[in-house]
């Protein structure tokens, strides 16, 4: 049976709050791209902590990526009942940046962009996102005659699972432009936005924290 880790909304909030100063010291993002659905809530919370006095809010764009497998059929995750997602091996785009509006895309060129997701598991999704975004931004930048402007990508995840990764990231990104708020073992993380019964989810989380405190 896979070990589960119950994470509450307050845990997510605190992880974002703790990470924001480190991010402001290093990447200083000018724009965020949230990978849906898990990256949406962390990106929005992070924005509150990245806000600088006298500066506008950092814009958030969204992309949707999903890992799928042809067989067996993927199961829906359910944090409360305990069903665990069947993780796939291929990434599909369910939503992407709007390339029909060059004006919109122009905003990305030459910027420091933070890609936000909830968890780095096998790293397949992050590898796909980085590669595809770099490729697409380079194409738009060329089209706009801004080939000389450097667009920089960095990554924020709430959790990184300490395990062998299938996907790879550029070496420079892995060393200097990758921030995981928390590193965990190869457990199944139950996020609050997946819970069908949030009271029960929070209760299980509190129980887990209590057990951890009494065993340490």
The answer to whether 9 touches 39, Cβ cutoff 8 Å, is no
Query: Considering only residues 20, 50, 137, 189, which one is a binding residue for ligand 5GP as defined by CB under 6 A?
Result: 189
**Interaction pattern, residues 94-123, with ligand 5GP; x per rule: CB under 6 A:** -----------------------x-xxxxx
Q: Enter the tokens of residue 102.
A: 């060059």
**Shortest distance in whole angstroms from residue 125 CB to ligand 5GP:** 3
Determine what percent of the chain falls in helix, strand and coil, rounding each to the nearest 5.
35, 25, 40
DSSP 118-184: EEESSSHHHHHHHHHHHHHHHHHHHHTT-TTSPPEEEEEEEEEE-S--SS---HHHHHHSEEEEEEE
**Shortest distance in whole angstroms from residue 84 CB to ligand 5GP:** 8
Query: Considering only residues 40, 108, 114, 125, which one is a binding residue for ligand 5GP as defined by CB under 6 A?
Result: 125
Select 11 or 105, whichever has its Cβ closest to ligand 5GP. 11
Annotated active-site residue 136? The verdict is: no
Question: How far, in Å, CA of 37 to CA of 131, rounded?
Answer: 19
Q: Among residue numbers 139 through 178, which ones bind ligand 5GP (CB under 6 A)?
A: none
| Residue 124 binding ligand 5GP, by CB under 6 A | yes
Q: Which of 90, 76, 164 is nearest to 120 (CA)?
A: 164
Which parts of this chain interact with ligand 5GP (CB under 6 A)? Answer: 38, 67, 77, 85, 87, 117, 119-125, 188-189, 191, 194
């Amino acid at each position: 049976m896979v070990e589960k880790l119950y994470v509450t909304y307050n845990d997510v909030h605190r992880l974002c709050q703790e990470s924001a100063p480190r991010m402001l010291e290093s990447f200083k993002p000018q724009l965020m791209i949230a990978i849906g659905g898990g990256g949406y809530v962390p990106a929005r919370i992070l924005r509150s902590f990245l806000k600088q006095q006298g500066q506008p809010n950092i814009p958030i764009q969204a992309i949707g990526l999903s890992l799928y497998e042809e067989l067996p059929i993927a199961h829906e995750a359910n944090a409360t009942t305990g069903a665990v997602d069947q993780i796939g091996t291929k990434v599909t785009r369910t939503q992407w940046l709007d390339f029909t509006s060059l004006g919109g895309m122009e905003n990305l060129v030459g910027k420091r962009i933070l890609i936000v997701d909830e968890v780095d598991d096998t790293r397949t999704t992050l590898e796909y996102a980085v590669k595809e975004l770099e490729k697409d931004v380079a194409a738009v930048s060329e089209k706009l005659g801004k080939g000389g402007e450097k667009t920089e990508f960095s990554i924020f995840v709430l959790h990184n699972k300490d395990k062998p990764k299938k996907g790879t990231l550029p070496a420079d990104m892995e060393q200097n432009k990758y921030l995981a708020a928390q590193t965990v073992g190869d457990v199944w993380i139950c996020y609050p936005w997946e819970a069908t019964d949030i009271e029960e989810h929070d209760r299980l989380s509190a129980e887990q924290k209590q057990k951890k405190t009494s065993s340490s």
